[in-house]
Structure 1
């Protein structure tokens, strides 16, 4: 066994296990003097042979170099081909020939697996390098003498344990910095010992600035307390821990994160600290939120459609019942009714037919809006003339209730939009104003230009609405038929159609109402759809 095992226990334990296998075999295949055995060393034990931290060579008892790894040649400043089948004296690699002979004799006499000696080498550029050499004998088949395997470690650059430690440190450093996620490690007291480049960017601190700080020095108190708590749980169980958190690092890069933590151990097998990796979940969370919103929107849309068709089917049944009832009576007993009765029946049939037509027209408009099939035909519109046309459409209804219609829109307000669809919108709104106004009431329309937008207000002196009624006004699933001041019956979703149409016309609608005072409907329009 190596006397100074404490200097590099992991490395030399590994090396001993390799050499014991080699020493126990007498076969030519793994004799280090043969080409086959060298290939074995380079392949099966490549971690040893290709280790850049140590030089390795095989010499005979005369000091002739039989084989070496690249690290030894690099250390001496030569190419491998220049050193093969030579000895230290030939190339001036050694300055103490007698000491070298004594060293080889010491190795041959030793009963230990490893013999530790020192030697000064002279490099190709005439520099002296003091080295620790760990040597072991290798038997040659059919021979009475041994070859020697030497592991050469420069004293100036390394102590006994440093070659493998440096190699591992460099490897881990490279590995950490090539991980695309932030990685950190802390001791048991929550003090940061290191991190990778991505974590530096995350907390906006370099690793040397981070070293020695705690969570409370890096994160807000709430986050720091959470991290300390999860670390305690980790130390208690010794198991890995993964949890989601929402971090605000101030750079708006990481918000929702998944943190994976594990403990690491010291040489005594005791928990020494925590290593963690942070995975950004922001995109995933946004995608999940989008899916949830889409799902809710789809459910709401389906519920609205179900409600809509329920309203349509219910409302259509009523006018058609009237149509069929009065028309059947006229067909069956036409000659038995007087002219006044026939006229009354005909008026009811007309009223029901108009109501059914209005329902079907609303259904068609709503369907086109939902499918995106509404065709917009822009044209120049003088707004005051459009409102005159709307008032003309509603004049008979207004006169029946002695409602005064006032158009107070200035003549200079013009827009480019779809005249037919806008006429429908204002027809709905004015009709509602008349419907929910008492006799001798007023419906007044005004307009003004505000920040390149055209603002149109329709104000009535009707019965108004409560806050609860207002909150349900544009929710199709909440619609209930509300009768006018003379028990006029509507479709229940005229304003919903208005909102859909205005959305397609690059406009919007707002409603303000006070119970028993009246309602003001505001339509906001762009100068062009």
Structure 2
């Protein structure tokens, strides 16, 4: 009786949660909180297996923990006398009492806590659904003192952005970075370091990625870092800006086109007219004086200037129409031998003037399906370019060959050649600069740019091989047939 009084006294002092004493898994005592919570009287409780207070689904778990003398708290679903259930946190510990091994088990009602946790988990699920549905990826990361990324969260939208199966990234920062093009890794590290050094400042970095399907895309990540206690955390989002970047690049091209256009109109196109007026005035004065010795000289100069100005104006108009999408593509079967000789006739005067020899190997039966006007422009500009940069009394070699499905045009001169850094800019409107020819012939650089545009329209390729002082070779490869629209 004294023993039970001691137990009752002990339980009375620990009445904030349901307590049970058990021996070999059988209940030998309970406190008042246990009576109130589960509804069993002492007569009903004492002698019952301890698992009777546990829902059948969790009884094996509790029995296993009892066998292991498990002492850490864990969650179970408990069951009252009336069969109703409630979530509880259970914790048990073996003690020695009056020389006997007794297990003290505490059950704490966590219904309110569980409701809060369920609501929180529901909010987390809702947030997860929202972040997965947003096309942009949301992320959070802890940044160590040495700039390493740990404890990352990356929303599932990252998989969608990278065209990957759901769950591929799975909050793995290194795996995400593996899809960046290698040349951007250093930029990402620099931006992270800048964020650490400037807490609260929003930073943006643009970089290229290779998606799961192999396509290359532009991504932009924006975020900021903040200090919390002794730790640094970064928050931000990432989105695909490929479409915006293409529009931006197109706008830059248009601006460069506009600048080039006005530059040509204001300077290069004015020069031929200045020359016309100068030589015409000289001719007029000679005629007025009855002196005709230099008339032929002036006439040739006017012709040469007119031809140069006409070529420039033709390129300018073609280029302008091309930029506005006003040039239609009308492929037809063309005998390239006949077209080539028609083009050469246009250059009889400058070839004769510079005493240049043109050597050609073009079979009379070579033909291809192409747009006549575009092909004429390509040939005309390549030959004009070769003449412009050829030295007096040198030669130009032109060959046109045909294999199974390709026509290959080569124009080789023995002129000034092109520096390597300038070769990369030949076909770019925003960086191209035209140099004067060997006898100070003027140009705009539009000719080669037009060649590139028209070759691209034919699904062909244009290449240049050149060495300063040793001339240049321009190679154009065009399909013999064009795909049917």
User: Following the alignment from structure 2 to structure 1, what is the Cα–Cα distance between the partners of residues 210 and 264?
Assistant: 51
Determine the structure 2 residue equivalent to 1:171: 119
Deviations 1:385-434 (A, max 9, x none): 32233233334433333433233234554211112221221111112222
The whole-number CA distance in structure 2 between the counterparts of 1:248 and 1:302 is: 24
Q: How many residue pairs align between the two structures? A: 367
Q: So what's the TM-score if we normalise by structure 1?
A: 0.53
Tell me if 1:458 matches 2:424.
no
d(CA) in 2 for partners of 1:319, 1:191: 67
Which structure would you say has the larger Rg? 1
2:39 is the alignment partner of 1:119: yes
Length-normalised TM-score, structure 2: 0.58
Contact kept? 2:286, 2:292, Cα under 8 Å: no
| Residue 344 (structure 2) aligned to one of 363, 373, 391 | 391
Displacement after TM superposition at 1:297 (Å): 4.2
Match of 2:135 in 1: none
CA distance in 2, matches of 1:345, 1:246: 59
Partner SS, residue 407 of structure 2 = strand
Distance in 1 (alpha carbons) for counterparts of 2:442 and 2:158: 67
Contact 2:410 2:476 in 1 (8 A): yes
CA distance in 1: counterparts of 2:250 and 2:413, whole angstroms? 34
Q: 1:447-480 deviations in whole A, cap 9, x for unaligned?
A: 4456843322211222322223323433445555
Query: Map of 1:41-60 to 2, 5 A cutoff?
Result: none
Q: What are structure 1's unaligned runs of at least 5 residues?
A: 9-105, 107-114, 122-128, 132-151, 234-238, 265-270
Counterpart of 1:39 in structure 2 is: none
The answer to whether the 8 A contact 2:312-2:443 is kept is no
> Among 268, 271, 276, which residue is 1:318 paired with?
271
**C-alpha distance in 2 between matches for 1:320 and 1:247:** 49
Match in the other structure for 1:507: 460
Distance 1:497 1:378 in 2: 17
- State the Cα deviation string for residues 464-501 of structure 1 (Å, max 9, x = none): 22223323433445555533334434444322232233
Q: 1:379·1:416 contact (CA, 8 Å) conserved in 2?
A: yes
- What pairs up with 1:224-373 in 2 under 5 angstroms? 252=212, 281-283=238-240, 286=241, 290-292=243-245, 294-328=247-281, 334-373=287-326
| 1:111-190 equivalences in 2 (<5 Å) | 116=36, 119=39, 154=84, 158=88, 159-179=107-127, 180=129, 181=131
Q: What secondary structure, in the 3-state scheme, does the structure 2 residue paired with 1:515 have?
A: coil
Q: Counterpart of 1:420?
A: 373
Deviations 1:355-379 (A, max 9, x none): 3322221210110111111122221
Task: Give yes or no for contact 2:409–2:476 (8 Å, CA) kept in 1.
Answer: yes
Task: Tell me which residue corresponds to 1:34.
Answer: none
- Structure 2: which 5+ residue stretches go unaligned? 1-11, 19-31, 42-51, 55-81, 89-106, 133-137, 142-148, 160-165, 179-184
The aligned counterpart of 2:435 is 482
Q: Distance in 1 between matches of 2:307 and 2:385?
A: 16
Rounded to whole Å, the distance in 2 between the matches of 1:356 and 1:397 is: 13
Distance 2:447 2:303 in 1: 21
Shift of 1:256: 6.9
Q: Deviations over 1:85-142 (max 9, x none)?
A: xxxxxxxxxxxxxxxxxxxxx9xxxxxxxx9475369xxxxxxx989xxxxxxxxxxx
Whether the aligned pair in 2 keeps the contact of 1:153 and 1:163 (CA below 8 Å) is no
